């Protein structure tokens, strides 16, 4: 396309199309939590109350749908981190957010890994990863300044711990509760001695 070509602006979605889009993403989130990233697209459409053609019109590939679900969830995690930046106890704010990250990872059941190998938008995984690191770093810096965590702890270490715990528990029937128990043990190791 020539440099001086005018790119037409993207059309706004009609209200009914936006509702369908939102219902599809919500249904996909529920079914991914239950069945993992390979949840049936037909079941997602059925649960959203739309036809298969409507689902594919909004999301031409499974990858596009997974990206929409993942991006919304990462943005929600970052919003939670922003809200916690004003909490009175910086250490507890960090630990509450780490528990939210753990719950997010357990609920996603393979979503992140599926996105990395799926061939969709290659920047999405790194963009979301950076968003999570930045959000966590802000909370960790505040907790470190308050003396609530050991000074040598890095946010990437905490996120690796949360990720490993989530991976180890995602297939268990009581996965979220077990992940929370293991994270509590890890958090005790992060506190100053």
Q: pLDDT by residue (tens digit) across 47-87?
A: 999 999 999 999 998 888 888 888 888 899 999 999 999 99
Higher pLDDT, 73 or 97: 97
Q: Is the pTM of this model over 0.75?
A: no
How far is the CA of 65 from the CAs of 46, 49, 94, 118, 142, in angstroms?
15, 16, 30, 11, 35
For 135-174, give the DSSP string: HHHHHHHHHHHTT-S-TT--HHHHHHHHHHHHHHHTTSTT
**What pLDDT score does 110 carry?**
59
In angstroms, rounded to a whole number, what is the distance separating the alpha carbons of residues 147 and 65? 42
DSSP classification of residue 1: -
Domains of the chain, by residue range, sit at 1-60, 62-190
Homologous superfamily assigned to 1-60: Homeodomain-like (1.10.10.60)
| E strand intervals along the chain | none
Homologous superfamily assigned to 62-190: Tetracycline Repressor, domain 2 (1.10.357.10)
- Tell me the two tokens of residue 1: 């396309």
Only one residue has tokens 């999570």, namely 132
- CA-based torsion, 85, 88, 90, 93: positive or negative: negative
């Amino acid at each position: 396309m020539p440099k001086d070509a005018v790119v037409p602006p993207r059309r706004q979605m009609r209200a009914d199309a936006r509702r369908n889009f939102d219902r599809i993403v919500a249904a996909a989130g529920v079914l991914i939590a239950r069945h993992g990233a390979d949840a049936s697209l037909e079941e997602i459409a059925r649960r959203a109350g739309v036809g298969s053609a409507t689902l594919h019109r909004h999301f031409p590939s499974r990858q596009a749908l997974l990206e929409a679900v993942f991006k919304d969830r990462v943005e929600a995690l970052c919003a939670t981190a922003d809200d916690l930046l004003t909490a009175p106890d910086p250490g507890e704010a960090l630990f509450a957010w780490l528990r939210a990250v753990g719950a997010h990872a357990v609920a996603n059941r393979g979503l992140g890994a599926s996105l990395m190998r799926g061939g969709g938008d290659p920047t999405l995984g790194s963009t979301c990863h950076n968003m999570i690191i930045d959000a966590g770093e802000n909370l960790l810096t505040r907790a470190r300044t308050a003396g609530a965590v050991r000074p040598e702890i890095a946010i990437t270490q905490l996120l690796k711990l949360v990720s490993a715990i989530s991976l180890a528990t995602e297939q268990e029937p009581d996965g979220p509760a077990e992940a929370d128990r293991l994270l509590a043990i890890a958090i005790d190791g992060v506190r100053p001695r």
